[in-house]
Amino acid sequence: MSSVSSARAHTRWISSLGGHRIVVLGDIMLDRYLWGKAERISPEAPVPVVRVQREEIKLGGAANVALNLKALGDYPYLVGLTGDDTQAQTLQERLAYHGFDSSGLVAVAGRPTVQKTRVLAGTQQVVRVDREDDSEVEGPDADRVLACFEQALPSADAVLISDYGKGTLSAGIVDQAVHAARARGLFVSVDPKETHFHRYRDVSILTPNHHEACFAAGRKVKDTAGLEAIGTMLREQLGAEYLLITRGEHGMSLFSASAPPDHIPTVAQHVFDVTGAGDTVIATLTAAVAGGLDVPAACRLANVAARRTVAEVGSYAVTRQELAQELALLVEG
């Protein structure tokens, strides 16, 4: 593809983004970052002492996916669980700050809001502390989640499911949610938890990383032929239209029934932190498909978005303007 034709394609890619309503169903989290310096080892244990200098709270999990969609100009509607605790109040405040409608959040008494606390010395993560209850939601609470989801479908342009294995996406909720969305002809994208992989049948696309795909297939991959074998097998087993395996520095591989495997090379340059990269990938490709791009083009756009987000420390939502700038750099370079 020439530079001129690339520039034209990139303009079309960017113009596809924004203005669409995408329902995001999944595990909602808070990401808390404690930034500081480590200048000595504790006398109590062989661990660094981090002197905290600042604290940052971000939306995590499915909420970070929704934030990525919003940065691209879409209108995400978030559905999932929270606890009935102070962390839930903080989450509500962060959602309000970013202009989200939080009516799709179901508060469950006695269940903690999922929170990941990362302690960093400079740009190096020292430790992560998780606060969670990953038991699967059931009974009336599951019914409330499904009710919020189904009420949002009539105005939806696409559905995105973000599974971090924190209990929101029980087998029953997944089955009913996917069936309801597909019955309306909606594009359904899924970032699956490796242990829940086979719950997601007949969806539009799944976006596991290399480790998750190997886990689901029950085998290790040593070469391209092995990767193509498990990608093809998993897509066929699940009846998915597409399967996208993200492969870090090796790029992405797209599998479909209508074309041979499509290996998309990485465009990453400076990688500081892969936190949230999967969220950016699935958000960008879903936004692009909702805007009319075909899936292979949408995956290439998502690949460029990942280039931008891994250059930041912590999760990062790439804007339309930043994505356009990244595309321009690729044409120039």
Q: Please report the pLDDT score of residue 154 as a whole number.
A: 97
Strand (E) or helix (H) holding 105: strand 105-108
Q: Average pLDDT per run of 10 along the chain, which is 333 residues long?
A: 60 90 97 94 95 95 96 96 96 95 95 96 92 95 98 97 96 97 98 93 95 92 92 96 91 94 79 70 96 95 83 74 83 59
Residue 176 lies in a domain: yes
Nearest-angstrom CA–CA distance, 271 and 288: 24
**Position 48 in a domain:** no
Distance of alpha carbon 209 from alpha carbon 288, whole angstroms: 20
The whole-number pLDDT of residue 294 equals: 95
Q: Look at residue 259 and tell me if it is in a domain.
A: yes
Angle (CA) 35 281 168, round 5°: 75
Number of helices and strands in the chain (H, E): 10, 13
Q: How far apart are CA 333 and CA 98, in angstroms?
A: 34
279 catalytic, yes or no? yes
Tracing tokens 């008494």 back to the chain, one arrives at 109
- Number of Cβ within 10 Å of residue 89's Cβ equals 13
Neighbours of 133 (CB within 10 A): 15
The DSSP symbol for 168 reads: S
Supply the pLDDT for residue 1.
42
Q: Within a domain: residue 304?
A: yes
85 SS3 class: coil
Residue at 212 is within a domain: yes
- The H or E element that residue 11 is part of is helix 3-15
Residue 200: phi, psi to the nearest 5?
Answer: -95, 90
User: From its phi and psi, is residue 140 left (phi > 0), alpha (psi between -120 and 50) or beta?
Assistant: alpha
Number of structural domains the chain divides into: 1
Alpha-carbon radius of gyration of the chain: 20
Is residue 224 situated within a structural domain? Answer: yes
Q: Which of 27, 74, 191, 279 is catalytic?
A: 279
Residue 137 counted as domain residue: yes
Summarised one tens digit per residue, pLDDT across range 176-190 is 999 999 999 999 999
What pLDDT sits at residue 192?
95
Structural domain including 101 reads 3-29+59-113+132-332
The pLDDT of residue 279: 92
Is 147 within 8 Å of 61 (Cβ atoms)?
no
Asked if 235 contacts 250 with a C-beta cutoff of 8 angstroms, the reply is no
Q: What does 70-83 look like in DSSP terms, one character per residue?
A: HHTT-EEEEEEEEE
Which of 185, 296, 173, 303 is CA-nearest to residue 243? 296
Q: Is residue 300 situated within a structural domain? A: yes
Report field, pTM of the whole predicted structure over 0.85: yes
Q: Find the CATH number of the domain harbouring 259.
A: 3.40.1190.20
